[in-house]
Every structure is written in structure tokens, then in C-alpha cells.
Amino acid sequence: MQIGVLLSGKGSNLQAIIDAVKDGSLPVKIALVLSDRPDAFGLKRAEKAGVKARYIPPGPYRTILSREAEKEYVKALKKAGVELVCLAGFMRVIKEGLLSAFPGRILNLHPSLLPSFPGLEAWKQAFDYGVRFTGCTVHFVEKGVDTGPIISQAVVPILPDDTPETLLNRIHQKEHLIYPLAIKLVAEGRIKIIGRRVIIKEKGERP
């Protein structure tokens, strides 16, 4: 399966995907990396790994791609032969253009245990709320923000001496484990959705 990765920043989850592909544990090809920021370090990570990468201007809006930009993203992904789109710290809400171009084939990684704490700075929301546990979630993307069917989650305890920064660092460690595994499940055709529930089939099990 050929995947495309969309990012806005450092690209640590892109690096986790690159490493998993390199060591043979993730049977996909990264066909293209796109960023809405020209200075995103994730572009350099892709370059270093020999992965095709480019910046596409997002348009004038802060939280979404403009319609024109969205068309450019879809065009670039389709041209690269992308079958599955993986958001890795892409700080834009995905709208109808991308959703209809890749129906049921866009994944996102969110730094909380959804449905708790959707939206921005989810780890800080959890920290400020005073919960004892938070974590991260890989889910399918749909029209709502952070509302799609959940593939996998990992729990991270909030320690007495934590700060939002130390908590986020530990969440990242879990993200780097569960995202490649979730992508692998999709690539191997082992995901079945019934209502909102994601059923993971055994390897080799028929649909």
C-alpha cells in the first residue's frame, strides 16, 4: 500500500513511520509527504530518508485549507498513487474535498484518549483538567473534529511531578508505537467497521 503523510511541524511521527518501513515491520511505501508550512522539519526528515516531499501553500485560513489548496493536495496525492492518507501533526481540519477523494482512507493521531479532550493542545487540556490518565488515539477521519472510529489507543499516566511538556513527551513515545501498528492493520486489510466500532481481524481471516 502506498501512503501519503501530511504534517505541519517536526515530523517525529513521520520518523516513526519511516523507521518502521525501513526495519520491515510496516509493509507500506511512503509515496509522498506534504506540509502546509515551508519550514516544517518533517520535510527535512523525508528528504533525508529519500522520500518525495513538498510544501503546498494552505491558503489564507488558519485552521483549514482553502478550496484551491485542497484541490492541490488531492491532485498531488493522487498523482503519487497514494491509497491511504496519514495525518501526522497536520494542523488543519480536513474538509469535504479530501474526505471525498479518500473516503474512509484518512487516519489521524490525536494526543488524548478520545472522545475526551478533542481539539487543540489535548495533552494540556487533560493536564489542566486534573485527570489521572490520558494518552493517544489513532482514528479514522470524518466530518467532525476528532470524532472518527477509533483504531487503537495507548494510556499514559499523569505523574505528580509532570508538566504539560513532560507529559507530551511521554505521549509522543506511545504515539510512535501505535501509529505504525494502526497503519499496518489498515494496509493488511484487517480493519472492519461496524457502526462506530472498529473490529480487528486476525491475520488471514476472511472479510
Active site residues: 110
Residue 161's contacts (CB-CB under 8 Å, 6 or more residues apart) are none
